[in-house]
Structure 1
Amino acid sequence: MTRRTPHRVKDVMTQTVVAVGLEARFKEVVAAMNQWQVTAVPVLEGEGRVVGVISEADLLLKEELRDEDSTMIGQGKRLSDHAKAGAVTARDLMSSPAVTVEANALLPQAARLMAQHRIKRLPVVDERGVLKGIVSRTDVLKVFLRTDDELADEVRQEVVDHLFPVSRRGIGVEVTQGRVTLEGEVRDAALIPVAERLARAVEGVVDVRCDLRGPTTETENL
């Protein structure tokens, strides 16, 4: 049986995650990010609850603001940046509260959070906020690596067979480079927009061309 689309974050997330505690020192954070080749790390407290995230941008403030006088008047807009530039532990370096996503969240939700907050990685947490994994932009985009045959099989099973059980044999489904083409005659023309919408919702589909048509009506010329 064809594998169904991995609709949820837990299906694509990475379970092995590098993280640091609140009292981790600046150089420890830099070393961890360098060792694991990541651009951000979650900050944990207690039994693994995510309380913040430290990104490369947070760390670079120390170098960027090295020669600036943080006591100068008129620096109001950058007070928090100067505070981070002077920080030596994760507690003061991190951005908090952390933007997180639950493991059962749908992939579009994770994508929207990343776009909205302009971040590349999201800590994945359970209902208590405990770290369970990490999901990146690359993980979310894995759905576009599905083959054309996989996509065609899912469109047939989940869209055509479901909506058009009677006329399904006369409906063609072709997929080329992620672009779906639906063609053929169906008994209920009202379902054609629904079929197009459901085909677009199959994760990994890039575009849909819908050439379905309703039953042909023969008109007699009197």
Structure 2
Amino acid sequence: MFAIYNKAGLNFRSTIDNLYSLSNVDSISRVRNNTEEGLPKDHSLKNKKRTGKTFEEELNNKDTSDVTSVYKEIANIDTKEPIFHIKELMKTDVITLNEDDTIKKAYELMEEYEVRQIPVLSIEDGKIIGMVTHKLLVEYIFNDLEYAEHNANRTLDTLDFGQVITADPITDIRRVAKVMSDFSLTAIPVVDEEDNIKGIVSRANILKAIANTPPLQIWG
């Protein structure tokens, strides 16, 4: 089961077939990735080194290119049990932001935890309303260098971060992998039927499972 959320809340919840039949599904460009967004990231908060640049450091070094960083740690999944549902792979210690958090805070969290997109939650009920990307933040902050500091201190609700595709915890891993591939997503939030965010799964999580788990356990 998949769902689509935007600033107004839940916009769609149904099967993968109905997801692909949506007339506006190609418009979900804000959550799509490109080469500038980097390789798959591990969204776990554990063991992350806080080595990211602050906004001020980045502002004073505007000529530095946004270099693609390569994830370094490949954790072994030691299990002999079959893996079928995305809840068995997802990271539950999810980095999230509220819609009233500043753009500067979002930027620094991404640098600190080496991720390129973070789910955004409503301040009213804590439900997911979108996903903000590093590319969107950089474009907004540095679009006009004269007002970069001012722009960085605005809140996330001023951004148009579009819609976000999510998966239910018991969604088949194969279907999640297909959606992530077809929509060029490097991460997909895992949200239950009450619209509560339960975790997040990245391409890296799926790749680790494939690399360390016998194929028949996942795809059989």
TM range (shorter): 0.5 to 0.7
Amino acid in the other structure paired with 1:24: D
1:112 is aligned, of 178, 186, 198, to 178
Note if 1:49 corresponds to 2:67. Answer: no
Aligned residues between the structures: 137
Counterparts of 1:1-222 in structure 2, within 5 Å, are: 3-45=80-122, 46-62=124-140, 65-66=143-144, 88-146=154-212, 150=214, 201-202=219-220
Amino acid in the other structure paired with 1:102: D
* Structure with higher helix content: 1
| Post-superposition offset of 1:135 | 0.3
The answer for unaligned runs of 5 or more in structure 2 is: 1-78, 146-150
Query: Is the contact made by 1:43 and 1:54 (CA closer than 8 Å) also made in structure 2?
Result: yes
Normalising by structure 1, report the TM-score: 0.54
Amino acid in the other structure paired with 1:34: E
| Post-superposition offset of 1:49 | 1.0
Structure 1 vs Structure 2 CA RMSD: 2.7
Moved over 3 A (4+): none
Deviations 1:117-168 (A, max 9, x none): 2221111111122111110001111222236xx55xx68xxxxxxxxxxxxx
Share of identical aligned residues, percent? Answer: 24
Aligned-partner Cα distance in 2 for 1:86–1:116 = 32
- Counterpart position of 2:59: none
Aligned-partner Cα distance in 1 for 2:102–2:173 = 34
Normalising by structure 2, report the TM-score: 0.55
Q: Which has the higher contact order (CA 8 A, sep 6+)?
A: 2
The answer for unaligned runs of 5 or more in structure 1 is: 68-84, 156-199, 203-222
SS in 2 for 1:100: strand
